[in-house]
Homo-oligomer: A and B are copies of this chain.
Amino acid sequence: MKKLINKPENYVDEVLQGMAAAHPETYAIGGATGRMLHRPQPVAQKVGVVSGGGFGHIPVFGGYIGDGLLDACAIGDVFASPDMNPMLESIQFASTGKGVLCIVGNYGGDRMNFDMACEMAAMEDITAVKVVVADDVAAAPPEESEKRRGVAGFVYVTKIAGAAAAAGYDLIQTQNVAQKAADNIRSIGVALTSCTVPQAGKPTFDIADDEIEIGMGIHGEPGVGRSKLTSVDTIADQMIDRLLTDKPVNSGDRVAILVNGLGATPVEELYLMMRRAKARLADLGAELAHIRVGNYATSMEMAGASITLMHLDDELECLLNAGADCPFWRN
């Protein structure tokens, strides 16, 4: 395990301390166990927007705390759901009387614990509701889309929900537009190498030097199969084909695209993937109305990339372009 870390058991808390040290205007550590990351001050008179999930995916989840984004976030151990308590603390922090939207990746522990947290919040007369992100087309076929994992699509849902809340949407409106975003997002990833969970000390999975796995999840969950490493154009084509099969892109469609690095892949290679993806979508007559390239949803030092598409309407495009400010997203 070749990592720049201290003791593995302190990894999560020390990274949070580093984030708060680097960006004290954005991140503060709170909660009874220090696993609630939040803005320095809650924002009055708006719907609260929170999230939570396993650690090791920075900026997902807590990195997206900021203006027009999240108010607070529950932090789990590496690749493990937070328990209910920091989720409830996040809801309490973000609650200023207008209700709280919880953005939840489609993982069993995250969903169950957020359900409990929302019930506990209700006992305190805080209305908290969920939207579930399940964008990974490789995780299950369309007819079982409720089984799909949440991956980089979280970033778009967070941006949309945060912008809606900042614009004065009420709780139901915020939930509805976040759900609309989620329904319009599709992602697929490709892994070249594994990452290592610090407390495990060895790679999560083995993969040969000439192999890739298309559709692998951000925790190393199986994808749609191993294949030999080919050219980035070929790999991008395979990824785009799967996305288009799941939700076609037609001439005149306006689409947002995120080519996301998993942590160890150089941005140069992400631009190669974007080059091909844009050409493919342009051939279909689509307009790429919003483009991002970089490390937006990671798996520590996993090498690989994902492509996320979000079909836009005027409302989604407006909210996507609305002002937002955190160290990982600014516009």
Are A2 and B274 within 8 A (Cβ)? no
The verdict on A116 contacting chain B, using a C-beta distance below 8 Å, is: no
User: Which one of A15, A263, A271, A278 has the greatest number of beta carbons of chain B within 10 Å?
Assistant: A271
Distance between Cα atoms of A292 and B233 in the complex (Å): 33
Distance between Cα atoms of A289 and B259 in the complex (Å): 32
Partner of A278, one of B14, B22, B56: B22
Closest B residue by C-beta to A233: B6
Are A23 and B291 within 8 A (Cβ)? yes
For this complex, into which size category does the number of interface residues on chain A fall? 35 or more
Partner of A4, one of B11, B18, B195, B265: B265
Distance between Cα atoms of A64 and B305 in the complex (Å): 23
Contacts of A330 in B (CB 8 A): 330
Are A269 and B5 within 8 A (Cβ)? yes
Closest B residue by C-beta to A190: B4
Closest B residue by C-beta to A211: B2
Distance between Cα atoms of A331 and B312 in the complex (Å): 27
The verdict on A248 contacting chain B, using a C-beta distance below 8 Å, is: no
Contacts of A235 in B (CB 8 A): 4
Residues of A within 8 A of B (CB): 2-7, 11, 14-15, 17-19, 21-23, 56, 58-59, 190, 192-193, 195, 209-210, 229, 231-233, 235, 259, 263-275, 278-279, 291, 293-295, 298, 300-301, 303, 305, 327, 330
Can you add 12 more A-B contacts, CB < 8 Å, to A14-B272, A18-B271, A330-B330?
Answer: A4-B192, A4-B265, A4-B269, A4-B273, A4-B305, A14-B275, A17-B275, A263-B264, A263-B266, A264-B265, A266-B300, A294-B327
